[in-house]
Amino acid sequence: MGADAGEEKLARVRLNFFACHKSDWLLRLIELYGGAAELLKRPPAELAAEGGVMLDTALRLAAQTAEANPEKEMLAANRAGIAVLTALDEGYPELLKKIYDPPLVLYVRGQLKPLPAAGIVGTRKATPYGLRTAGRLARELAEAGVAVASGLARGIDTAAHQAAVEAGGVTWAALGAGLNCIYPEENKKLAAKITDSGGALISEFPLDKGPLPANFPRRNRVISGLSLATVVVEGGFESGALITARFALDQGREVLAVPGQVDCPVGRGPNFLIKNGAYPAECGNDIISCFPPEALFGLKLAAPKQAAGPSDAALKELSPDALLAYKAIAGDERGLSADEVTLRLEWQVQRAAAALFELETSSLVLSRGGRYCRAI
Amino acid sequence: MLSKLRTLCLKGIDGREVSAEVYIAPGLPAYTVVGLPDAAVKEAKDRVVAAVRNSGYEFPSKRITVNLAPAEIKKAGTHFDLPIALGVLGASGKLGKKPPARLADTFFIGELALDGAIRPVAGVLPMLLALKGSGKTAIVPFGNSAEAAVSGVTCLAASTLKEAAAWLTGELELNPCLPAPDQKPVSACAPDFSEVKGQAFAKRALEIAAAGFHNVIMVGPPGAGKSMLARRFGALLPPMTFDESLETTKLYSVSGLGLTGRLVRERPFREPHHTISDAALIGGGSSPRPGEVSLAHNGVLFLDEFPEFSRPAIEALREPLEAWRVTVSRVKESVAYPARFLMVAAMNPCPCGYLGHPTRECACTPLQVHKYRAKVSGPILDRIDLHVQLSAVKFADWEALPKGEPSAVIAGRVLKAIEIQRKRFSGETRANAFMAGAELRRHCALPEGASAVLETAMNKLGFSARSLDKILKISRTIADLEGAAAIKREHVIEAVQYRMLDKAAELTAGI
């Protein structure tokens, strides 16, 4: 990399400190002036006159970029083992370059392997059905060798990352904050697991930027931009998941949706997408079959699987009591509380406690807010 | 002329002997009280003047000095009226030329009305207990006679200043104090556990809590029956021993709640509202008074809507939950009140209450839920052994459910477990919940296969090391309920179910 390229990269990192909702006009200006370094040299009045920018925006840009310290930022990233990529660098994902406003700078912790990727997005307030389906799709994609992209939020995102990591696959998390501010707090462990298992944490925001609400829609375009196809698992009409789906469509990528429960508010988003022509996604193969043929090269394709629940072998390992309890729990879509288990089976508390402990630690059942639901 | 009488005062919940000296000197009429009196004692002057005159005596127009000794104890309360008034009568020669013989071994307690009647006062029982075994006599207000009789000290009841004065000179004999007739609690309509349908886990948790004196927190949506269960919880506890009754009655007496005159025989159940101040909860005031935690001594403190309590109030609970007493320090004095209570807390899963509800949607943001839960995390949660989740009862279930076990049956099992513990522990420990360090290791040996259970709990459910001690204590109580000498694997498994707030997944449940 020559001195000019180095200067240009620093200029782009500096320019990236300017917070705005859309960056496509910045890219146009960079093109116009032949580089971010040139752009930053122009006085705001000239930017306003030639670049078609409002004067106050140009003034803000000048002020915010002047405050920034890109050298310090690069040094900090370097120390933390974070790669800083611009569109000029080789590691910058090809697919992301093609969207109409790719991030000026990508901060990447971990590896961005050149894999075909699919995005799995959904609500934070997921139902057991959503969590379990997101997990299953992510697992099947990971096993096939597809990278699972999502946003590290609570609910569906977490389930997708978790399942991909557990299946030994690659998963990418695009964050709505700088890489020094993992949000939400409780997903820090998961974030570490993602990088340890060959995946990556990706953010376009400067390292110390907090999780501002405005960041998240921008983050969503990165998830869909990294992916060949985006699957919406659960979400309401106004959800971030639908924003991601719209980005995917704008970027010319496939949109799939997991059919939602019709009596559930979070089932409305995906069902709306299906009514408007999105493919329904039942299993990982449904997603992979939407990929362009050249992306299928090297993937380990398995026969299409139906949602079958846990394997017989897993059930055979259970004690007779635990199996009875599992059948009762699996038979109720909303799951059962511990008390309901004792009522259904007419058991004493002690007996139910032992069966529930066995199920919970076998990962066949998950407990959320006191209700036990089928996990697979 | 000088006159000297004996009386008592309170320091915390213990009585102290005090002497009231009255000196009348010639000079301009004046009246001074010395010896660290508080406002109520200074006010005694006006009541004493009126009471003396209205009892048919002349109040001396001379220089009167009242000294309450020892001077370093702060004197609070209105019960110094009677000794002061009698002192004035004595010093002005109304009780004879020489001090009456009965004066030497008698203690006087009582507040005066303006017409010379003696009014009942708070704290009679703890004050009198300081005289126990000394063979001394006490004159107490007639209204306090039942309470005074409980103390076991020879007490005589006086209803007017004139009666007390006449007794001193030997013109009149006073009636000894008699205990109030014992009243059996009306148990026929007392709330009973059998009225609570479903909630098997919560009932079991409360049974374990009662058996091992474990603190318990119930988490569940509105209407699940948290308060209903808590109000029935007292019935599971064993009857109070005489010493426990006496301690609790002393606290009630100091707070002025003991005027019914009976020993507190039923375990107290205190249910302070969540707007309570920290001082009212643990005790305080410029002249300290016991707070709710001390009024719940040897009984149950029920804190409904626990996270809604102010943070200072929640934090203030740490001392009594750790040390089983509260020390209230003020500029002039520092007193300690016992507070060995069983805490039953209740909370919703989130501020709106419907997080994880099968049919209703929760309206809270993750941040709100986090803040709500964070209020009960950390040091306070560390002092609560049992966590139990309640879920909403469906109507169909509610209708079909049979009646639960009656309180008396559960209380029977609890009593057996408590007897096992009485044999096990000597000294302060008394119950499984108070085991620490060496005792825990001695009495809670892990059975074979149980360490694997704990390991799975830590790895799969995200339990921390600090929950393991709690699990051991709970397992011990479960084993005691069964009458088992050693803890078994299934006891440990059941105990794990009562640590639900320790589960890592619980933090993000339903968000």
Interchain pair A342, B201: CB under 8 A: yes
Interchain pair A370, B503: CB under 8 A: no
**Of B143, B176, B209, which residue sits at a domain end?**
B176
**How is residue A118 written in tokens?**
């699919």
Closest Cα of chain A to B461: distance in Å? 7
Is residue B166 in a domain? Answer: yes
Give the structural domain span for B41: 2-176
Residues B134 and B231 in one domain: no
Is residue B21 in a domain? Answer: yes
DSSP summary character for residue B251: H
Which residues of A fall below an 8 Å CB-CB distance to B?
124-125, 154-155, 158, 184, 186, 265, 334-335, 337-340, 342-343, 349-350, 352-354, 356-357, 360-361, 363, 366-371
Ordered by start, the domain boundaries in chain A are 1-68, 109-296, 312-374
pLDDT of amino acid B428: 66
Confidence band, pLDDT 50/70/90 cuts, at residue B510: very low
A184 interaction partners in chain B (CB closer than 8 Å): 366, 508
Residues B224 and B268 in one domain: yes
CATH number for the domain spanning B391: value is: 3.40.50.300
Interchain pair B500, A349: CB under 8 A: no
Which position has the token pair 């009243």? Answer: B183
Interchain pair A349, B200: CB under 8 A: yes
Confidence band, pLDDT 50/70/90 cuts, at residue A308: low
Q: How far apart are CA A137 and CA A122, in angstroms?
A: 13
Q: How many CB pairs under 8 A join A and B?
A: 97
HEC secondary structure over chain A? CCHHHHHHHHHHHHHCCCCCCCCHHHHHHHHHHCCHHHHHHCCHHHHHHHHCCCHHHHHHHHHHHHHCCHHHHHHHHHHCCEEEEECCCCCCCHHHHCCCCCCCEEEEEECCCCCCEEEEECCCCCCHHHHHHHHHHHHHHHHHCCEEEECCCCCHHHHHHHHHHHCCCCEEEECCCCCCCCCCHHHHHHHHHHHHCCCEEEECCCCCCCCCCCHHHHHHHHHHHHCCEEEECCCCCCCHHHHHHHHHHHCCCEEEECCCCCCCHHHHHHHHHHHCCCEECCCHHHHHCCCCHHHHCCCCCCCCCCCCCCCHHHHHCCCHHHHHHHHHHHCCCCCEEHHHHHHHHCCCHHHHHHHHHHHHHCCCEEEECCEEEECC
Closest Cα of chain B to A348: distance in Å? 8
CB neighbours (10 Å) of residue B54?
A: 17
Q: With 0-12 CB in 10 A as exposed, 13-18 as middle and 19+ as buried, what is A166?
A: middle
Residue in A with minimal Cα distance to B460: A361
Residues B151 and B257 in one domain: no
Residues B280 and B392 in one domain: yes
Residues B30 and B165 in one domain: yes
Residue in B with minimal Cα distance to A336: B358
Mean pLDDT, range B20-27, rounded to an integer: 93
Taking 80 as the threshold, does the pLDDT of residue A353 lie above it? Answer: yes
A369 interaction partners in chain B (CB closer than 8 Å): 349, 355-356, 389, 506, 509-510
**Of B398, B427, B456, which residue sits at a domain end?**
B427
User: Which member of B219, B355, B358 has the closest CB to residue A334?
Assistant: B358
Residues B208 and B135 in one domain: no
CA A161 and chain centroid, separation: 8
Confidence band, pLDDT 50/70/90 cuts, at residue B115: very high
Q: How far apart are CA A160 and CA A284, in angstroms?
A: 12
Percentage, residues of chain A above pLDDT 90: 51
User: Which member of B201, B490, B500 has the closest CB to residue A354?
Assistant: B490
Taking 90 as the threshold, does the pLDDT of residue B179 lie above it? Answer: no
Q: Does B276 touch chain A (CB under 8 A)?
A: no
**Of B375, B392, B427, which residue sits at a domain end?**
B427
Closest Cα of chain B to A352: distance in Å? 9
pLDDT tens digit sequence for B275-316 = 999 989 998 877 788 999 999 999 999 999 999 999 999 989
Residue in A with minimal Cα distance to B355: A369
Name residues whose C-beta falls within 8 Å of residue B201's C-beta, 6 or more positions apart in sequence: A338, A339, A342, A349, A352, A353, B388, B389, B390, B497
Q: How far is CA B494 from CA A319, B215, B429, B491, in A?
A: 16, 17, 24, 5
| Residue B414 exposure: Cα atoms within 13 Å on the Cβ side | 26
Q: With 0-12 CB in 10 A as exposed, 13-18 as middle and 19+ as buried, what is B267?
A: buried
Residue in B with minimal Cα distance to A338: B201
A109-296 has CATH 1.10.10.60 classification: no
Interchain pair A370, B507: CB under 8 A: no
Residue in B with minimal Cα distance to A156: B511
Mean pLDDT, range A182-193, rounded to an integer: 88
Gyration radius of chain A's alpha carbons: 23
Taking 80 as the threshold, does the pLDDT of residue B492 lie above it? Answer: yes
Confidence band, pLDDT 50/70/90 cuts, at residue B509: very low
- The residues in B 338-397 lying below 8 A from A, measured between CB atoms, are 349, 355-356, 358, 361-362, 366, 389-391, 393, 397
User: Which member of A265, A342, A349 has the closest CB to residue B361?
Assistant: A265
pLDDT of amino acid B98: 84
> What's the structural domain count of chain B?
2
Mean pLDDT, range A295-306, rounded to an integer: 78
Residue B70, preceding bond cis, omega within 30 degrees? yes
Taking 60 as the threshold, does the pLDDT of residue B357 lie above it? Answer: yes
Three-state SS for B223?
A: coil
Q: Give A312-374's CATH code, choosing from 2.60.40.10, 3.40.50.720, 1.10.10.10, 3.40.50.2300.
A: 1.10.10.10
Taking 60 as the threshold, does the pLDDT of residue B186 lie above it? Answer: no
B474 interaction partners in chain A (CB closer than 8 Å): none
Please provide the average confidence, as pLDDT, over all residues in chain A: 89
Taking 70 as the threshold, does the pLDDT of residue A1 lie above it? Answer: no
B358 interaction partners in chain A (CB closer than 8 Å): 334-335, 371
Gyration radius of chain B's alpha carbons: 28
Is residue B414 in a domain? Answer: yes
Residues B148 and B241 in one domain: no
pLDDT tens digit sequence for A151-187 = 999 889 999 999 999 999 999 999 999 999 998 887 8
Cβ atoms of A130 and A155 within 8 Å: the answer is yes
Is residue B485 in a domain? Answer: no
User: Which member of A186, A334, A352 has the closest CB to residue B508?
Assistant: A186
Is residue B199 in a domain? Answer: yes
Closest among A258, A251, A253 to A284, alpha carbons compared = A258
pLDDT tens digit sequence for B245-263 = 888 888 888 887 765 667 7
CB neighbours (10 Å) of residue B102?
A: 14
A152 interaction partners in chain B (CB closer than 8 Å): none
Interchain pair A368, B509: CB under 8 A: yes
Residues B197 and B172 in one domain: no
pLDDT tens digit sequence for A199-245 = 999 999 999 988 888 889 999 999 999 999 999 999 998 888 999 99
Taking 80 as the threshold, does the pLDDT of residue A369 lie above it? Answer: no
Taking 60 as the threshold, does the pLDDT of residue B511 lie above it? Answer: no
B497 interaction partners in chain A (CB closer than 8 Å): 338, 353, 356-357
Read off φ and ψ for residue B502, nearest 5 degrees: -85, -15
Q: With 0-12 CB in 10 A as exposed, 13-18 as middle and 19+ as buried, what is B29?
A: exposed
Residues B244 and B96 in one domain: no
Cβ atoms of B249 and B150 within 8 Å: the answer is yes
Mutate to test the interface with A, among B494, B502, B507 (most CBs of A within 10 A): B494
Read off φ and ψ for residue B418, nearest 5 degrees: -70, -35
pLDDT of amino acid B184: 61
A265 interaction partners in chain B (CB closer than 8 Å): 361
Residues B149 and B9 in one domain: yes
User: Which member of B199, B390, B496 has the closest CB to residue A357?
Assistant: B496
Residues B343 and B281 in one domain: yes
Interchain pair A125, B490: CB under 8 A: no
HEC secondary structure over B30-77? EEEEECCECHHHHCHHHHHHHHHHHCCCCCCCCEEEEEEECCCCCECC
pLDDT of amino acid A307: 60
Cβ atoms of B252 and B423 within 8 Å: the answer is no
Residue in A with minimal Cα distance to B458: A361
Q: How far is CA B478 from CA A2, A358, B234, B493, in A?
A: 73, 19, 19, 11
Mean pLDDT, range A46-66, rounded to an integer: 86
DSSP summary character for residue B301: E
Q: How far apart are CA B384 and CA B218, in angstroms?
A: 11
Mean pLDDT, range A261-267, rounded to an integer: 87
User: Which member of A154, A353, A368 has the closest CB to residue B356?
Assistant: A368
Is residue B502 in a domain? Answer: no
Is residue B489 in a domain? Answer: no
Residues B220 and B151 in one domain: no
Mutate to test the interface with A, among B196, B197, B199, B201 (most CBs of A within 10 A): B201
Interchain pair A354, B494: CB under 8 A: yes
DSSP for B371-429, please give it. Answer: HHHHTT-TTTGGG--EEEE--PPPHHHHHHPPP---HHHHHHHHHHHHHHHHHH--TT-
User: Which member of A339, A360, A369 has the closest CB to residue B199?
Assistant: A339
- Confirm whether A109-296 and A312-374 share one CATH topology: no
A158 interaction partners in chain B (CB closer than 8 Å): 508
Mean pLDDT, range B2-13, rounded to an integer: 90
Is residue B490 in a domain? Answer: no
Interchain pair B511, A155: CB under 8 A: yes
Interchain pair A343, B201: CB under 8 A: no
pLDDT of amino acid B382: 82
CB neighbours (10 Å) of residue B423?
A: 7
